[in-house]
Amino acid sequence: MTDVPMMRAATPRRRQMPLARAVRAVLPPLAFCLVVIVAWEVMARVLASPLVPDVAEVYGELLRIVPTGAALQQIGVTLGRILSGSVLAFAVAVGLGIAIARNRLLAAFFEPGIILGLTVPGLVWALLCVIWFGVSWKTPVVAIGLGVAPALTVSVVQGVRAIDPDLIEMAHVFRIPRSAQLRRLWLPAMVPFLLSGARLGFSLAWKVIVLVEIFGLSSGVGYQLNSEFSSQNVAGVLAWTIAFGVVMAIIEYGMLQTLERRLTRWRRVSRV
């Protein structure tokens, strides 16, 4: 018997081409959308009801609102309101969340407020703000702030509590000022929690702003939805919802995920 050298050529690791990677990333969500469209069309044909318009009808409404720029303008108005309210909610949540996570007395003091904030429906904040502020920029900002801040605060508290206490101890020994600790230690350590909070915040803010725009404002996607509802145009309601959903998807895939990849690139370095 001859000695067979126990050697095997190293299998080269297959590296995905950028195009293949992009296709793999895009294909599943596209397939999901396709399944939903087909399912809707089947449902519309089976039910044959004016309350469930078929895909062509909804597409026709989309063609009515998108090319004229009306959709983009109204979505821009709504997004601006969401952004303003979210900035307020974010500022409150970061300050409050850090304080609560670090101080048991403050945690006990604010706990009922946060529970109340989490349980009160967005509808209540929308109604109250319309009553208090009327047709004013304050209405959407405060309503979104009140609707989003409690959930965001909970995310921040969880983020602060997940920070490695050894790192805080190191920062204390090296006498790193609080402002530098916040910028270089606390916020970067909380990035996953802040991003999931931002996603949650956007979805909550959208639900609140639609109500505010329905009840108290004369512009924005909520107002348009209400107009289509009043004229019993179900395809119009769906078209506005789809147009806004597409913009939100662009924000998620184009901005939030890019931001997440950028902020967590240190995790993807090869380990020695």
Task: By CB under 8 A, tell whether 175 contacts another protein.
Answer: yes
Q: How far apart are CA 165 and CA 115, in angstroms?
A: 27
CB 264 within 8 A of CB 196: no
Identify the residue among 169, 232, 250, 257 touching another protein (CB under 8 A): 169
Task: By CB under 8 A, tell whether 261 contacts another protein.
Answer: no
CB 188 within 8 A of CB 263: yes
Name the minimum Å distance from CB 192 to another protein: 11
Task: By CB under 8 A, tell whether 162 contacts another protein.
Answer: no
Task: By CB under 8 A, tell whether 172 contacts another protein.
Answer: yes
Pick the closer one to another protein by CB: 8 or 267.
267
| Count of alpha carbons within 13 angstroms of residue 136, beta-carbon side | 10
Name the minimum Å distance from CB 172 to another protein: 6
Identify the residue among 176, 242, 248, 251 touching another protein (CB under 8 A): 176
Question: What tokens does 162 get?
Answer: 């997940």
One-character DSSP codes across 137-182: THHHHHHHHHHHHHHHHHHHHHHHHTS-HHHHHHHHHTT--HHHHI
Nearest to 153 by CA among 193, 185, 183: 193
Stretch that binds another protein, among 65-73, 77-85, 196-204, 260-268 (CB under 8 A): 260-268
Length of the chain: 272
Pick the closer one to another protein by CB: 30 or 167.
167
Task: By CB under 8 A, tell whether 170 contacts another protein.
Answer: yes
Name the minimum Å distance from CB 261 to another protein: 13
Question: What tokens does 7 get?
Answer: 């050697």
Residues numbered 183-212 forming contacts with another protein, rule: CB under 8 A: 184-185, 188-189, 191
CB 125 within 8 A of CB 208: yes
Pick the closer one to another protein by CB: 46 or 269.
269
Task: By CB under 8 A, tell whether 178 contacts another protein.
Answer: no
C-alpha to C-alpha distances, 11 to 8, 15, 16, 189, nearest whole angstrom? 8, 12, 15, 37
Residues that bind another protein (CB under 8 A): 166-167, 169-170, 172-177, 180, 184-185, 188-189, 191, 263-264, 266-267, 269-272
